[in-house]
Chains A and B, each alone.
Chain A
Amino acid sequence: MENLVQIALQNVNMAAILPSVILTCFGMGLLLISVFLPRGTTRHAVWISMIGLLVTGLFVYTGWGNPQYGFNDAVANDNYAAFFSMIFLFAAGLTILMSDDYLHREGYPVSEYYPLILFATAGAMWMASGTDMMTIFLGLEVMSISLYVLAGFFRGQVRSNEAGLKYFLLGAFSTGFLLYGMALIYGVTGSTKLTEIGIYLNAHASLLDNPMTLAGLVLLSIGFLFKIAVAPFHMWTPDVYEGAPTPIAAFMSAGPKAAAFAAFLRIMEYCFFSLKPEWTAMLWVLAVLTMVIGNVIAISQTNIKRMLAYSSIAHAGYALVGMVAANEIGYSGLLFYMLAYTFMNIGAFAVLTLAGKKGEDNLTLEGFSGFGFKRPYLGVAMTIFLFSLMGLPPSAGFSGKFFIFAGAVDAGYIWLAIIGVLNSAVSLYYYLRVMVYMYFRDPVEDYAWVTLPAAAVISIVIAILGVLYLGVIPGDVMELAKLAIF
């Protein structure tokens, strides 16, 4: 018995999961503390969760360049996981900062909201650091279950109920496909460890065109592509983003999307490198489809949250181009783009939380008429984020797209890069239209002057700084991204 314990402990290595464990502890501690405080107090929750994110970020930062492997190689806290963890922490931090005032305005000042964000972030970190199917599956579910609750958080609002229930039903449905894919791959290779699967498949070339392997690959991909919101698995995205609380829509479009990319890319690179021509061909088609569908449908949207949902589908398509390129600059461009997208998209959503009124019926193009003159600071912030989403220099969106398309050209996918650039041109139309309404229309809403809440302003300022930093000096972060990939 003692021998068994020793063997088990040798392989554990808690350092590999330290950051996410710390984050989980903060989340659970926050749940406990909130029990003893009167309902409706949320300020402490903002502070504690921000401290939790900062401490976790510190541990992620010190773990850079010092990879830790634990739990029989089921977890690898390497640079790749650290880079993605930073993206999730930024996404969670910006989301939490913009949430407090918003929750009070919408009439749900409930402190359980913040621990759920922390748990979702911890789940995302497990996904990024998982090197075993089980770890990745558990991380995915911890993240998803927290998000089901968060999407349906406004329990008195039918729209939020509907968003939560739709996300739940479709998310659980896609989990079934993901698991069946994992089961088939396990059956083919006899292991759930990513590296062992990859070595086994590489050594047994006859397995590569075995229907069971290919079915497993496709089913597994469906599970992740659903979370990334790649066409044709994107149908849930606009409904859920529109119905969910705005900060949660912001978080979902950045954090969990990056997490699904992290796990998907690691699985494809570790397990299926022998099948690279097959899966890049598959993703080529999906990337084009996603970019076109996202951008074309976004044109006809009048609700800004819904428009941003379609734009997030299109941006998933751009990021997928980096994965199709499957070379150093493509992969590191994908990492860079997810970080850039976190800043610009969450920033845009943060402006929406401040622009909306209770119930958010005014978040339409008409409702934005004259917004730029009546709320000048928010107007400028929104302009910066929209420019970045369009991909105009010098913004984060431009450098991100530049790296990704450079990777695609490098790998010989000239047509893919051309389609991508044409799609960016299409996206100019619907982003610019928001600005036309903001600056060239007479205001229809009565804009009473309100003091902007400090926390949300901090969130917007951080997002602007991030967008400008990644746009003006992309080299530093790009170097880090190059160190982070395999």
Chain B
Amino acid sequence: MISVYHYMTVSAILFALGTYGVLTRRNAIVIFMCIELMLNSVNLTFIALSSHLQSMDGQIFVMFVMVVAAAEAAVGLALMITFYRNRDSIDVDDMNLLKL
């Protein structure tokens, strides 16, 4: 029997993997994919808790998170394209003009 704890554990692992990816990867698009992984692990948490608590709030929250993630993706990819046009790279190590 799969309980809410299993779902919580899986989503915690996914969240940790996403965080690890953001901190270690150097390609901006891969970093963004890791951020999406974090958001989706949060969605899994919300859905599992919503079903466990028998309340709709969590599922509605997931809808909002997905809408926001889509809007964020649009803006984020546009920013990456402008950066790529000027620098021919989307490596975060190349974002080095603004330094101490």
Residues of A within 8 A of B (CB): 133-134, 137-138, 141, 145, 148-149, 152, 155-159, 161-166, 168-169, 172-173, 175-176, 179-180, 182-184, 186-187, 190-192, 238-239, 242-243, 300
Contacts and interface: CB of A to CB of B under 8 A. Distances in A.
A179 B82 contact: no
A154 to B, nearest CB: 9
A165 B71 contact: no
A158 B15 CA distance: 32
Contacts of A158: 83, 86-87, 97
For chain B, what secondary structure do more than half of its interface residues adopt (helix, strand, loop), or is it mixed? helix
Contact of A192 (B38, B57, B87, B99): B57
Contacts of B28: 165, 169
A455 B97 CA distance: 32
B64 A137 contact: yes
Interface in B38-62: 38-39, 41-42, 45-46, 49, 52-53, 55, 57-58, 60-61
Interface of B: 8, 15, 18-19, 22, 28, 31-32, 35, 38-39, 41-42, 45-46, 49, 52-53, 55, 57-58, 60-61, 64-65, 68, 71-72, 75-76, 78-80, 82-83, 86-87, 92, 95, 97-100
Nearest to A174: B35
Contacts of B75: 145, 148-149, 168
A450 B88 CA distance: 38
A300 B57 CA distance: 49
A172 B38 CA distance: 10
B47 to A, nearest CB: 10
Contacts of A134: 57, 60-61, 64
A180 B42 contact: yes
A181 to B, nearest CB: 9
A190 B76 contact: no
Nearest to B63: A134
* 4 smallest beta-carbon distances between A and B, as pairs: A176-B38, A239-B98, A183-B45, A187-B49
B72 A172 contact: yes
